[in-house]
Amino acid sequence: MNRVRMKLRVNGEEHEVLFHSYKTLLEVLREELGLTGTKHGCELGECGACAVLVDGAPLLSCLELALECEGREVQTVEGLANGKELHPLQAAFADLGGSQCGYCTSGMLMTAKALLDREPAPTRERIKEALSGNLCRCTGYQQIWESVEAAARALREAKP
């Protein structure tokens, strides 16, 4: 079976990876780079748990071949915090119940980040819509919306 060697930029760092060409971005992140913060719930593009950002846009990494990501900027949950300091979304999810079992959390965080990057002050309806491709079985979503709203406020306040 063919293995390919490729440069992959993840969280601002360039990695040289060697992998079977059929592998998805999800598999390469988790299995080749050990970035297991990105989860899988179906590997069929149905649950959103594997969402990462590619060139700033949320993308289901279980449906994307890693081969297609050469030269693109991949961001995962591991790259969200600024050193030890949590991203406001991460802090809000941890503090306000946005994360219960934590399994959908990475996908939620990355999808929410893309939303807040585009729209710093989204309405509740916009948040619901943006996260509608990310399933969560624990929270009933409400504390996730509240976390995103709190993070949006914190981000706006941080920016002069």
Partner 1 sequence: MNAPEKPRQKTRFDTIGKPRRRVDGRAKAIGQLRFADDLVLPRMLHAKLLRSPHPHAVIESIDISRAQAHPGVQLVLTGAAFPVPYGIMPVSQDEHPLARERVRFVGDPVAAVIAADEHTANEALELIEVKYRPLATVASPEEALANPEPRIHDYGEQGNIHRNQSYEFGDVEEALAKSDHVFEDLFFYEGNTHLPMEQQASLASLEGDGKLLLSTSTQNPHYLHRQLARVLQMPAAQIRVIATPNGGGFGGKCDPGNHEFVVAKAALMLGRPVKICLTREEVFYQHRGRHPVLMKFRTGVAKDGRLTAMHLQTLLDGGAYGSHGPASTFYTGVLTPVTYELPRFKFDACRVFTNKPACGPKRGHGTPQPRFGQEVQLDKIAERLGLDPAEMHLAMVTKPDSLTASWLRVGSTGLAQCIRKVVEMSGWKARHGKLGPGRGLGIACSTYMCGAGVSIYWNKLPHSAVQLLLDRSGQVTVYCGATELGQGSDDVLSALVAEALGIDPGNIRCVTGDTGITPIDLGSYSSRVTIMMGNAALQAAARVREQLAAAVAEQLNTLPERVVFSQDRVYSAEAPGNTMSFIEAVALAEAKFGTIAAVGSYSPPKAPGKYKGAGVGPSPAYSFSACVVETEVDPHTGWVTVPKIWIAHDIGQALNPVLARGQVIGGVYMGLSEALMEEQAFRRLPPKLSSALVHRNPSMLDYKSLTSLDMPDVEVALIEDPDPNCPYGAKEVGQGPLLPVMPAVANAIHDAVGVRIDEIPITPDKVLRALEKKAKGEVPRVGPESFPAVPYPQPIFVLPPWEGGDGNEVKDREGRKAA
- Contact residues: partner 1, CB under 8 A: 20, 22, 30, 34-44, 46-47, 49, 76-78, 80-81, 86, 90-91, 93-97, 99-106, 109, 127-129, 131-145
| Shortest separation between residue 160's beta carbon and partner 1, angstroms | 26
Residue 151, token pair as written in the block: 């993070």
- Centre a 10 Å sphere on the Cβ of residue 1 and count the other Cβ atoms it contains: 5
| Shortest separation between residue 148's beta carbon and partner 1, angstroms | 10
Asked if 88 and 144 touch (Cβ cutoff 8 Å), the reply is no
| Shortest separation between residue 139's beta carbon and partner 1, angstroms | 5
| Shortest separation between residue 47's beta carbon and partner 1, angstroms | 5
Task: For partner 1, give the closer residue by CB, 73 or 78.
Answer: 78
Q: What are phi and psi of 38, to 5 degrees?
A: -80, 125
Write down the H helix ranges in 4-136.
25-27, 88-96, 105-118, 124-130
| Shortest separation between residue 41's beta carbon and partner 1, angstroms | 5
Residue 160, token pair as written in the block: 């002069």
Task: For partner 1, give the closer residue by CB, 96 or 154.
Answer: 96
Partner residues linked to 101 by β-bridges: none
Task: For partner 1, give the closer residue by CB, 45 or 71.
Answer: 45
- Centre a 10 Å sphere on the Cβ of residue 36 and count the other Cβ atoms it contains: 13
Task: For partner 1, give the closer residue by CB, 72 or 128.
Answer: 128
Nearest-angstrom CA–CA distance, 65 and 52: 13
Task: For partner 1, give the closer residue by CB, 36 or 71.
Answer: 36
